Each structure stands twice: as C-alpha cells, then as structure tokens.
Structure 1
Amino acid sequence: MDAQEQVQGQVIFLNGTSSSGKSSLAAELLATLDSVWFHLSVDAFNAMGSRREDLLDTPERLDLALGRMRRGFHRSIAGMAAAGNNVVVDHVLSEPWRLADCLDVLAGHDVVLVGVHCPLEELQRRETARGDRSAGIAAFQYDRVHVHRDYDVEVDTAAASTAECARAVRDFLATRVPGAPTAFDRLRAGRAA
C-alpha cells in the first residue's frame, strides 16, 4: 500500500429531514469538489433491503431490521473513509442513538457536520410534489433531526440554491483551521462530560 492509500478520507455529513435537499446538495458537491468523492445515502442503503412483507410484518421486526441496516450504514461510512475515500453522507439523525452510534463509529475520522434546513411548509410541499414518500415523514422528523444543535456548516435549501449551499460547504472546507475541533468532536466531548 503506498502512502497515498494510507491517508484517511474526509467525511461531509449532511443531516436533515426527508425532502430537505440533502441528495441534491450531495450531487452538487460531487460535481464541484476538487477531488474524488462518493455519495453514501441512507435511502440507497434502505433500498437494498428485502421488501417481503412476511419478513417485516410487525413494527418490532421492521425496527430491528432498520436498526441493523443503519448501524451497517454507519460502519460503511467509516470503512470508506478508512480506505482513503472522501465521502458525502446523506442521513437523517432523527433518533438519538443514530447520532451516538455515528459519534462512536466515526471517532478518529475527519467529519464535517452540515445541517440541511428547510421550513416545514416547504418540506411538505416538496414531499407532496415528489410523490415517492409517505406523507408526513418530513413533519415527523422536523423537530427531531437538529436537536443536538451543533454544526460546522448550516444551509437553508429554501433560502439558497443548491449551488449556493454547496459553495457554503466548500468555503468552510477551504477556510477551516486545521486541527480545530469539529461539531462531531464537540458533540463527542459533550457526551463524555
């Protein structure tokens, strides 16, 4: 393995509700960042699973399967970064255990946490227009996703274009102080205190 392969990749972690614009922002970042990046989406991981109703016939079985999938998703992020890949993550931290698991699994990785915001009315409009989501998912997640309240960068996809939001993330990456604690570092330290 050469020296370049031994360097860990960076993680840009987009957190927001369903329909907040995370996937569009991830695509814009991949198109405009200066090095090779990969988009890892929790929705894509979810889509890989079985759709047999007889296997997921109770809320308990569904929750168990989704929990295992999400824990695997978190570990795939760490694995990609550990192998030297830069990763843009598209996730919904709507349950406290998801953030706690990510803080543990991604310890030692360079993670930039981006809050992807959008007003509830716009989320509901987008959800209806998409037609591929159950109505009410964004509203259910709205008060849960950002409860930790600490980000390295925050964007509002209703107030700014996808290109402007991507530029805000790129500008942060270009101007951040090397070695300065990130939101993940602060959240991890706060949890330990």
Structure 2
Amino acid sequence: MSQIIFLHGASSSGKSTIARSLQAKIEKPFWHISIDHLRDSGVLPSARFKSGDFVWAEAKPAFFQGFHASLAAYAHAGNNLILEHILDQGEWLDDLRHLLEPFDVYFVGIYCPLPMLIAREYARGDRPRGSAQADFETIHIGKSYDLEVQSQDGPDHNANLILEGWRSGKRASSFTSRND
C-alpha cells in the first residue's frame, strides 16, 4: 500500500523546506509533490492568467480536480508521496479523503506565527500579498491532524518529529476518522 505524508499549512509556512528534509531522511523513495512544482515547471500558462487572457477563477476548479485525481493515480501506481497542500476550499478535504481512502495517509499540520508568515510571504515575492494571513486565519479550522509541528522549530527538527510519528503507524486524523 502506498504511503502519503500530507503536509498542510499556510502559504509560506515552510512546507517545502520540511518536505525536502523528509525526503532526504526517509528510508523509502517518496515523491515530493505540490502545486508549486506544477506552477514552476510551466504546466500552467501563468503569464496568460496574469495578463488576463485567461481567468484563474474559471480554470481553478478543473485544475484542482485534476491535481487531486493525479495524487490518487500516483499512489495507485505504487508511489509513496510527500504531499504539500493548502486545503483552502471546504470540499477539498472530503474529496481527498475519498480519493486517498485506500492509502496510509499521515496528516501533518504545519503552524507558523503570523508575523513570520507575513515576512516570508514578502521575502518570497511570488505570492499574492495577504494570502498567508488569509490561510493563517482559516485553513486549520475543522482539521484533525496526526501531528502538529511549529515551523519556527526548524525543518530538520520537524522532519524528525514527522518521521517518528509516521513510523509509529498511529493514525488519528481527518483521514482516518470521520469526525465531521
């Protein structure tokens, strides 16, 4: 059965840095996958969305439906995943619970203090200003995690905590229970 370590946190919370640390330490091959990888690879016609040729709000539902289905396809093919995602739409958690139900999902909440999120967002320059704060205020509501970590503790420390929890086999999150 494929295994998925699902990192969930606000934009600029450190998900990618933790994912790279996990991938370097984990004893099995795990793909590191995120929306940023697709965006940065040129899959999306980003310049055309920015120029107004295309409307992101119209394309977004199909894009995410395809992304979510691709995650299940990768796992069904036998790939282990380190997934980083921001569940900023209410139905996405239910969709992913259904799609990933056959797999061992270890759901990790990444928390980061708001001032740090805002500073990171500004330093990156590739996020709409205010998205980190909007995420901070909403995305963890109603989610139950197998583990919660604090971004300011550092990626290596957090990767070690995640690996320890993942290796334990104990699961009690939004993906293992139906506490709606």
TM-score, normalised via structure 1 length = 0.85
Q: How does 1:83-102 map to 2 (within 5 A)?
A: 83-102=77-96
| Residues 15 and 95 of structure 1: CA distance in aligned 2, closer, same or farther (over 3 Å) | same
Higher relative contact order (CA 8 A, sep 6+): 2
Aligned residues of 2:32 and 2:82 also touching (Cα < 8 A): yes
> Separation in 2 of the partners of 1:151 and 1:141?
17
SS at match of 1:184: coil
1:44: how far off?
2.0
- Which residue of 46, 58, 67 corresponds with 1:64? 58
Matches within 5 A, 1:22-61: 22-47=15-40, 48-51=43-46, 52=48, 53-56=51-54, 61=55
Structure with greater Cα Rg: 1
Supply the distance in 1 between the matched residues of 2:27 and 2:173 (Cα, whole angstroms): 21
Contact 1:127 1:138 in 2 (8 A): yes
After the TM superposition, which of the residue ranges 9-18 and 101-110 deviates more from structure 2? 101-110
- Specify every segment of 5 or more residues in structure 2 that has no aligned partner in the other structure, as ranges: none
The TM-score, its normalising length taken from structure 2, stands at 0.90
2:97 paired residue number: 103
Question: Equivalent residue of 1:185, what SS?
Answer: coil
1:12 touches 1:88 (CA, 8 Å); kept in 2?
yes
Opposite residue 175 of structure 2, the aligned amino acid is F
Question: Among the aligned pairs, what percent are the same residue?
Answer: 33
- Give the drift of 1:79: 1.0
Question: Following TM superposition, by how much is the alpha carbon of 1:55 offset from its aligned partner in structure 2, in angstroms?
Answer: 3.9
Distance 2:172 2:44 in 1: 36
**How far did residue 46 of structure 1 move?**
3.7
**Which string of whole-angstrom CA distances, capped at 9 and with x for unpartnered residues, describes residues 120-162 of structure 1?**
111001111112222111011111210123100111111x110
RMSD: 1.5
CA distance in 1, matches of 2:32, 2:91: 22
Matched AA of 2:103 = H
Q: Structure 1: which 5+ runs fail to align?
A: 1-7
Letter in 1 for 2:92: R
The answer to whether the 8 Å contact 1:112/1:183 transfers is: no
Question: 2:144: which partner in 1?
Answer: 150
User: Take 1:34 and 1:130, find their aligned partners in 2: how far apart are those partners?
Assistant: 31
Shift, 1:163, TM fit? 0.2
Q: Which of 146, 157, 166 is the aligned partner of 1:164?
A: 157
Q: How many residues align?
A: 175
Find the aligned partners of 1:118 and 1:181 in 2 and give their Cα distance: 22
User: Would you say 1:190 and 2:144 are equivalent positions?
Assistant: no
The alignment partner of 2:138 has SS state of coil
Q: State the AA in 2 paired with 1:190.
A: N
In 2: Cα distance, 1:104 partner to 1:124 partner: 33
Q: CA deviation at 1:182?
A: 4.2
Shift in Å, 1:54: 4.8
Equivalent position amino acid for 1:109 in 2 = F
SS of residue matched to 2:44? coil
Amino acid across the alignment from 1:183: S
